[in-house]
Amino acid sequence: MSRGGRSGRTRVRTARGRSAQSTRWLERQLNDPYVKRAKAEGFRSRAAYKLLELDERFGLLKGARRVVDLGIAPGGWAQVVRQRLPAAAVVGIDLLPVDPIDGVTILQMDFLADSAPDALTDALGGQADLVLSDMAANTVGHPQTDHLRTMALVEAGAAFAYEILKPGGAFVAKVLAGGADHDLVAELKRNFTTVKHAKPPASRKGSSEWYVIAQGFRGTVEADA
């Protein structure tokens, strides 16, 4: 199926029934050092290193006792939380099925469903110290549409964070290039002491993803006047 080039890079032959796009994706996966590292270290996805790098920079997991993982599939971020915080309560939600993770409660349902916030709150058993969101809308190839769909998820995640976070808590969400919308950033700044954008090294260079990191939840929600 594949062969190594002079540089040691694995190249993938185009196979019958496999598109050129699929071939490029497979070749990228086979040559991605984060993918290889994830397999070696037992993480379900390379995304685990994005959270590890964000935690190293912002101290997100320090002292957290209750954590919510929005868009948990396939479970890499929850694995990191459990590794760093073995005693923490962790609850995740995703439309996709997720293999069990020891110590993690996983809800298979649509986060945008009316019943989802209450289901997450009940499963967590108290206020959260940290709400993580690696959710992303399925892209359609139209930048403006993709941005609007993803920002709708970020806004829904933020609204949920306001409800469940304890004072001093943090909210982290995936956004696209350009970061969160101005209005959302302004709202986050009213409700958190610090709001920053970051692109962890584990994010692929060609990827448009960034993360918004809001820390120091004030405990009282301030909306637009």
Binding site annotation covers 94? Answer: yes
Cα–Cα distance measured from residue 106 to residue 183, given in angstroms and rounded to the nearest whole number = 32
Binding site annotation covers 77? Answer: yes
Q: State the Cα angle at 221 between 219 and 223, rounded to 5°.
A: 160
DSSP codes of every residue in 47-86: THHHHHHHHHHH-TTTT--EEEEET-TT-HHHHHHHHH-T
> Each residue of 84-122: b (16+ CB within 10 Å) or e?
bbeebbbbbbbeeebeebeebbbbeeebeeeebbeebbe
Q: Check: CB of residue 213 under 8 Å from CB of residue 54.
A: yes
Binding site annotation covers 59? Answer: no
Binding site annotation covers 118? Answer: no
Binding site annotation covers 75? Answer: yes
Active site residues: 174
Structure letter (DSSP) for residue 137: P
Q: Which residues are annotated as a binding site for S-adenosyl-L-methionine?
A: 75, 77, 94, 110, 134
